[in-house]
Structure 1
Amino acid sequence: MSDEQRVTVEVTDGVADVRLARPDKRNALDPAMFEGLVHTGERLKADRSVRVVVLSGEGPDFCAGLDFGSFRAMASGERLSASAQLPDTDGPARATGQRAAWVWAELPVPVIAAIRGNALGGGLQIALGADIRIVAPDARLSVLEAKWGLIPDMTGTQVLPELVGRDVAKELTLTGRFVSGTEAAALGLCTRTDDDPVGAALELARGIAGRSPHAVRAAKRLLDLAGRVDLATGFAAEQEEIGALIGSPNQVEAVTAGFEKRDPVFRDA
């Protein structure tokens, strides 16, 4: 099955609606799904018309993690994910599963994950690659790898502590316990809950897409630096970004539209 069949994309007014499209298998991860996620993310990186991405799953689940074929292959020491055909990368994520999750963090525009049903194991780690996570209150999330004698190897060990703290990350990883969407939001694993996470994510995305795309991209770059570089570097980056924005066409349009009490018309390039 091709990657296009595993992952679908529809772009409307700058919002890319990206969906894992294997609902009969709870959007489980197989080599074709890994390929679909990475290739889709790489294509979106290069599309200047895309201002925000919403990432969700078709059907009742976000992603239930690795499919059973991958687990059976592990019994003989085989990693089916290694068979995925992916483009070259110079980023920090090199393994197939890592790239399927990290490619969303690498996008220059905000990514909002909308989670309903199950987000388990690798499925949860893919959601961790998003900037914002909106989750149904009754969703089920788990760092499930402990159940299978594994560890989260799709960037989860590095990203999860940043969100929930090192101690909570250890508890979730070592136990593999399930948490509801409500508890996930309380822990910081998700941003907030909504009974219709996909609808809420699309509404939020449309609002962000109405802002200056250059300012949005700059804000994401700066916020991604926070805690990962020293303060002097972070403060200098702020000044570099604000210097590039002040007086730029989109910044002038934002001010002009505000005074004229109309919707701004921004350029993507």
Structure 2
Amino acid sequence: MHIDGIKDNRVTVNLHNGIADVRLNRADKRNALDDALFQSLAAAGDALTSLPGLRAVVLSGEGESFCAGLDFGSFKGMSQRDGKTSTIGTMVAEDAMTHLAQQVCWVWQEVPVPVIAALQGHALGGGMQIALCADIRIAHPDTQLSVREVFWGLIPDMTGTLMLSQLVRPDVARELVYSARILQADEGHALGLITHLSEDPLVAAQSLATEIASRSPDAVRAAKRLLTRKLKAEAAEQFAAERQEIHRLIGSANQNEAVKAYFEKREPEFTDADSGELDHRRQK
């Protein structure tokens, strides 16, 4: 299926019997997110929002991992506080409520049919946030999961603060974000992050998609509209808050230290929050 906007075959989309098979196609990099993959994934999702005859979507990653998060090369631009070194912070449209990094996740809520994510290997950082925006997540028990952003001196700014809060208890969401720890999918299933565990998540996802595709398409679409209605009502304000917070963090001294320490293989040495940060909190 040809879709304008997909670059360098970064994403493949195949349609069969009303089911779209969407795959991140950067297996040699564990499907890590670079600018081209961000743009291609958003384009694929956008095309599916108006595709006639669509009944279900299976979202997966080629190779050993679903998505290992942001490409390490993308960290090189984070010393620029204005975010202009990359297109991922660009709003997708003048009146949009998402920028590109948020849209690669949120678009799966905009797709009018159920989206099932099949996870294996790694779903870290941005990869985890993409999975959180699917309607259903099926994972191999050994899949490594993490809302990893705080490890890099950042926050989950790709819709993750909203979507995570819909799936787990508030204290669990906070612990996962604050600690940035990596957990396996069997624990994620117990916490509510993962819908089903499977030794072959892609086959299981395809089987469930086939079952859903056999139901009345009018009823399935109506059900998704209703089940996402309240979520969409909260989204714009929360996504704007994510963008505000990430803009403050990118290129800051502590964020640079988090990245530098990782690549220098040492413990980071952080400074206390500066007076500007404290004033910002008091104003809120």
Report the TM-score when normalising by structure 1: 0.80
Residue 26 of structure 2: which of 22, 25, 39 is its match? 22
Output one character per residue of 1:48-72: Cα deviation in whole Å (capped at 9) or x when no partner: 2211000000001000010011112
Matched, 1:223 2:227: yes
Residue 87 of structure 2: which of 68, 79, 82 is its match? 82
Q: Which residue of 1 aligns with 2:35?
A: 31
Q: CA deviation at 1:228?
A: 7.2
CA distance in 1, matches of 2:157, 2:86: 12
**Quick one: structure 1 residues 2 and 110, their matched pair in 2 at CA, closer, same or farther if it must change by over 3 Å?**
closer
Q: Which residue of 2 aligns with 1:254?
A: none
Equivalent AA in structure 2 for residue 141 of structure 1: L
> Which ranges in structure 1 are unaligned for 5 or more consecutive residues?
230-269
**Quick one: structure 1 residues 31 and 84, their matched pair in 2 at CA, closer, same or farther if it must change by over 3 Å?**
farther
Q: Which residue of 2 aligns with 1:263?
A: none
Equivalent AA in structure 2 for residue 203 of structure 1: S
Mapping of residues 113-132 of structure 1, within 5 Å: 113-132=117-136
Mapping of residues 64-79 of structure 1, within 5 Å: 64-77=68-81, 78=83
1:154 match: secondary structure:
coil
Q: Which residue of 1 aligns with 2:51?
A: 47
Q: Which residue of 2 aligns with 1:156?
A: 160
Equivalent AA in structure 1 for residue 55 of structure 2: R
Q: CA deviation at 1:159?
A: 1.1
Q: Is the 8 A contact 2:14 2:21 kept in 1?
A: yes
Equivalent AA in structure 2 for residue 166 of structure 1: P
Q: Which residue of 2 aligns with 1:258?
A: none
Q: CA deviation at 1:128?
A: 0.8
Task: Give % identity.
Answer: 54
Equivalent AA in structure 2 for residue 163 of structure 1: L
Q: Which residue of 2 aligns with 1:201?
A: 205
Q: Is the 8 A contact 1:34 1:81 kept in 2?
A: no
Give the superposed CA RMSD: 2.0
**Quick one: structure 1 residues 224 and 158, their matched pair in 2 at CA, closer, same or farther if it must change by over 3 Å?**
same
Q: Which residue of 1 aligns with 2:282?
A: none
